[in-house]
């Protein structure tokens, strides 16, 4: 059995069978990305600061709560498994 592809097939290296050059695809992606970024409503400096403080505060409170629960369970385990 012959497994060679016929001439003119997708692997003969002819320029008409190749996809668009990578640089054109990258330029199209970059243009679409910039178009989407122009639609973004960016926060003001005050809004950015206040929301950042809120996030830092909530993460700190969550970490403290997790640490408290962990210490409680560690204490309980030490009482049970003496």
Give me the average pLDDT of each 10-residue run along the chain (82 residues): 54 56 83 93 95 98 98 96 88
> What is d(CA 1, CA 55) in angstroms, rounded to the nearest whole number?
67
Asked if residue 74 belongs to a domain, the reply is yes
Residue 20 domain-assigned (yes or no): no
Tell me the C-alpha to C-alpha distance, in Å, between residue 13 and each of 5, 9, 20, 46. 12, 9, 14, 58
Judge whether 16 lies within some domain: no
Identify whether 65 is part of a domain: yes
For the chain, the domain total comes to: 1
Domain of 67 in residue numbering reads as: 43-82
Asked if residue 52 belongs to a domain, the reply is yes
Instruction: Give the single-character DSSP code of 23.
Output: H
Q: How far apart are CA 66 and CA 28, in angstroms?
A: 46
Residue 51 covered by a domain: yes
**Residue 46's pLDDT is what?**
97
């Amino acid at each position: 059995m012959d497994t060679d592809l016929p001439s003119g097939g997708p692997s003969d290296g002819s320029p008409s069978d190749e996809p668009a050059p990578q640089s054109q695809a990258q330029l199209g992606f970059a243009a679409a990305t910039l178009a989407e970024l122009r639609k973004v409503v960016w926060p003001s400096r005050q809004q950015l600061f206040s929301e950042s403080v809120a996030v830092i505060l909530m993460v700190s409170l969550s970490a403290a709560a997790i640490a408290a629960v962990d210490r409680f369970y560690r204490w309980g385990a030490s009482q049970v498994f003496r």
